[in-house]
Structure 1
């Protein structure tokens, strides 16, 4: 893709301090966008900003995406810094596993608050400016867990199914107003979130990390984990000018797991 295809655009990437968010921010920067990294850990965001070269075209805003007042303040701050938001990548998320009968209300609410309500609040904060300009891209980082079910992660699956449902509904609402809304759905991806899942498996069973990796990687027909840059490429494609006819989609990035 042309390195300047997003020139003049301001992109907000939540969960931008590591993993898929960091890879996406780097790719959008290379495509010419100005980027605001959002996340809860200010130190991690600052470190990622430095890793991306710093400069006037990249900013950091610390925020809990599940806190309505904090989200509204964060987007106001981002707009004051780098201009109205043209692209929103809702990537912030958490994953926790437990058998259904051991899934307490606190775990259930935490998954929905961060993964679903967070995407809702950030979208609601960014959307008015997009509608006013009749131009915008919203990409929600969901999961293959939003397309199928997996055992022991009912709360996580419910939250990601919710993200895809919200994506489809909003895409229809704004279809004639120049704004596209899509979801990318990674399979198991080589990130800190994956490592946390591996650690949980080894902690709760007698398996080694190698054995835990083998259990998870078998879901992917390519027999490997997805890389963050591969997800970021899908996000970039959905944000590019030539993708304006693609909306309401949930695109699996999973080595053929979802067909």
Structure 2
């Protein structure tokens, strides 16, 4: 699919060594972006993604390690990207763990990790990216949410994940409001079940999970220069799913 021209843009997708993050990063490589492949522990996988990004048309590609739940680590990884590729123009906040157990069975450390990787990481990376975006009078922030956030899903399992993703959506809208005079847009893409999920519900909308391509098209829309008036939006990629329908 054809995407916007990103040949003069630096793109950071958090958690882009594997899964959804990998596919979103490579989609920007297809558009000629300068790509920063972020990883926490998957160094070999990140190098493979960087090589593929270059092969697919990225003007430059690098790998960058960092813990996006730690402020000092976030500052360091952004600094490294700025030194090699220039300031981050496009930030995709993709990192986010989940915990499928019943919430009463979770240790606090697990609860906290899910909130930190989903919500705190989104906050820290966005905050670090904003000064350069404001100075450049251009920026695109896309947060990966979850389709339950606006559908009233209540479940005792995946509890901290749902709480965190609801926070990501609220953060998206508040940051969009705060940047409305800066030529920066902040939006969210919220899938239900994606093709790389570990488990699938017995019933799926349209009898299939969302494909990576289903997520790339909304990303391209949000990154398109002609979408500069679209901010604070949450685009659900869920095939028409409603909690009571599955």
Maintained 8 Å contact 1:88/1:139: yes
1:42 and 2:43 matched: yes
State the distance in 1 between where 2:15 and 2:213 align.
15
The Cα of 1:100 is off from its aligned counterpart by 2.5
Q: How does 1:1-259 map to 2 (within 5 A)?
A: 5-40=5-40, 41-53=42-54, 57-148=60-151, 149-151=153-155, 152-191=157-196, 194-195=197-198, 198=199, 213=200, 216=201, 218=203, 220-257=204-241
The DSSP-based 3-state class of the residue aligned with 1:109 is helix
* Corresponding residue pairs, total: 238
The DSSP-based 3-state class of the residue aligned with 2:6 is coil
Gaps of 5+ in 1: 199-212
Aligned counterpart, 1:203: none
The Cα of 1:56 is off from its aligned counterpart by 5.7
The Cα of 1:238 is off from its aligned counterpart by 0.4
Maintained 8 Å contact 2:51/2:61: no
Gaps of 5+ in 2: none
The DSSP-based 3-state class of the residue aligned with 1:246 is coil
1:102-128 CA distances to partner (integer Å, 9 max, x unpaired)?
A: 233112101101011011111111111
Q: RMSD of the TM alignment (CA)?
A: 1.8
Q: TM-score when scaled to structure 2? A: 0.91
State the distance in 2 between where 1:124 and 1:87 align.
13
The DSSP-based 3-state class of the residue aligned with 1:251 is strand
Maintained 8 Å contact 1:16/1:22: yes
Mean Cα displacement is larger for which, 73-82 or 145-154? 145-154
State the distance in 2 between where 1:252 and 1:165 align.
15
State the distance in 2 between where 1:31 and 1:150 align.
39
Mean Cα displacement is larger for which, 166-175 or 48-57? 48-57
Residues 240 and 30 of structure 1: CA distance in aligned 2, closer, same or farther (over 3 Å): same
Maintained 8 Å contact 2:9/2:33: yes
The DSSP-based 3-state class of the residue aligned with 1:52 is helix
Q: TM-score when scaled to structure 1? A: 0.87
The Cα of 1:2 is off from its aligned counterpart by 5.3
